[in-house]
């Protein structure tokens, strides 16, 4: 019969392993972002194929992590901080898996615009969005690794910048299309590409929220819920006064 200490060590070892696996999954997405951008800008169809095939592995790893986290919840019933760690894993695994899917979508977009050249301003815009999304993702995952809520809190501001870049890029698509350097089909594809980068940034922000949640138990949704409750209270008070 194992001692209590042993059980606790084994449980914490398990949590560490889960965290480690999430970090690894996240790190592979950090690497994917610049890679798929290069594939897109170089129109590297072979590279695109390779990334698309590699997605199965990310899916498999993600589901394994989720299952292990569920098992841990069921068998060990962790509490407080430990519970939040395991619950965060359940949220983070699909978040990262979805980000990898966005990278795959970028590869598919690369296939669709194959053979069409992009003018330097569009290429520069794509590179800038990619750099920003990459930076955000890196920051979010490294904040998770360090359990650093302060670092994670910076993600929102970083993402505002990505949103600006997204808007500028959309304006550039209109400009390039008007100047005739790209046709409508490519213009639409590029708008979708911009959206993928913007979504990658959003996923990074979601990850950062979970990092804050692990340390503080707070999520931005809590504020929204409180606002809703306040409004309902106000309405009830006004209703009562009207009735009286």
Partner 1 sequence: MAPLLAIVGAVLGFVAGWMFCRSRPTLAEGSLVPAAQPAQPVPSFADVLEDHPAGVVVCDASGAVRFRNAAARSLRGTHAGVLIDEAIERHLSEARRGIFSDEAIELYGPPKTVVMVEARPLPDGGAVGFVHDISEQRRVEQVRTDFVANLSHELKTPIGALSVLAETLEEETDPVTITRVVGRMMGEAERASRTIDDLMQLSRIELGGERGVEAVRVADVIRSAVGRVTEIAARRDIHISSLGSASVEQADDSIIVEGDRRQLVSAVGNLVENAVKYSEEGGLVEVRADRDGDWLEVAVVDQGVGIPQRDLRRIFERFYRVDPARSRGTGGTGLGLSIVHHVATNHGGEVTVSSVEGEGSTFTLRLPLLATTPVDPLTDQTPTEYTNRHVDRHIEGVA
Binding positions for partner 1, rule: CB under 8 A? 20, 23-24, 26-28, 30-31, 33-35, 38, 41-42, 119-125, 127-128, 131, 138, 141-142, 145-146
Which one, 172 or 206, has the nearer CB to partner 1?
172
Q: Residue 35 Cβ, how far from partner 1 at the closest point, in Å? A: 6
Q: Residue 187 Cβ, how far from partner 1 at the closest point, in Å? A: 16
Residue 28 and residue 146: Cα distance in Å, rounded?
A: 17
Which one, 54 or 124, has the nearer CB to partner 1?
124
What does the DSSP assignment read for 140-206? HHHHHHHT-HHHHHTHHHHHHHHHHHHHHHHHHHHHHHHHTSS-HHHHHHHHHHHHHHHHHHHHHHH
Which one, 20 or 71, has the nearer CB to partner 1?
20
Which one, 78 or 189, has the nearer CB to partner 1?
189
Q: Residue 122 Cβ, how far from partner 1 at the closest point, in Å? A: 7
Which one, 28 or 85, has the nearer CB to partner 1?
28
Q: Residue 188 Cβ, how far from partner 1 at the closest point, in Å? A: 20
What distance lies between CA 2 and its chain's CA centroid? Answer: 40
Q: Residue 27 Cβ, how far from partner 1 at the closest point, in Å? A: 4
CA dihedral 32, 33, 35, 38 (to 10 degrees): 160
Listed in sequence order, the residues at least 6 apart from 158 whose beta carbon sits closer than 8 Å to its beta carbon are: 132, 135, 136, 139, 201, 204
């Amino acid at each position: 019969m194992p001692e209590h200490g042993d059980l606790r060590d084994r449980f914490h070892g398990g949590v560490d392993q889960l965290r480690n696996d999430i970090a690894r999954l996240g790190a592979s997405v950090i690497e994917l972002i610049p890679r798929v951008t290069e594939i897109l800008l170089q129109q590297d169809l072979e590279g695109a194929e390779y990334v698309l095939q590699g997605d199965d592995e990310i899916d498999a790893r993600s589901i394994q992590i989720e299952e292990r986290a569920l098992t841990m919840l069921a068998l060990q019933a962790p509490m407080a901080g430990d519970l939040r760690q395991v619950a965060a894993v359940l949220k983070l695994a699909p978040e990262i898996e979805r980000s990898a899917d966005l990278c795959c979508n970028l590869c598919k977009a690369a296939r669709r615009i194959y053979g069409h050249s992009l003018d330097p301003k569009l290429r520069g815009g794509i590179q800038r969005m990619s750099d920003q999304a990459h930076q955000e993702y890196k920051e979010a995952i490294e904040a998770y690794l360090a359990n650093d809520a302060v670092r994670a809190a910076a993600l929102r501001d970083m993402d505002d910048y990505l949103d600006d870049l997204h808007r500028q890029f959309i304006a550039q698509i209109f400009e390039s299309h008007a100047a005739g350097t790209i046709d409508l089909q490519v213009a639409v594809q590029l708008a979708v590409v911009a959206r993928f980068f913007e979504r990658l940034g959003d996923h990074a922000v979601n990850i950062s929220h979970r990092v804050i949640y692990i340390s503080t138990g707070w999520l931005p949704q809590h504020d929204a819920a409180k606002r809703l409750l306040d409004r309902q209270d106000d309405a009830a008070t006004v209703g009562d006064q009207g009735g009286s």
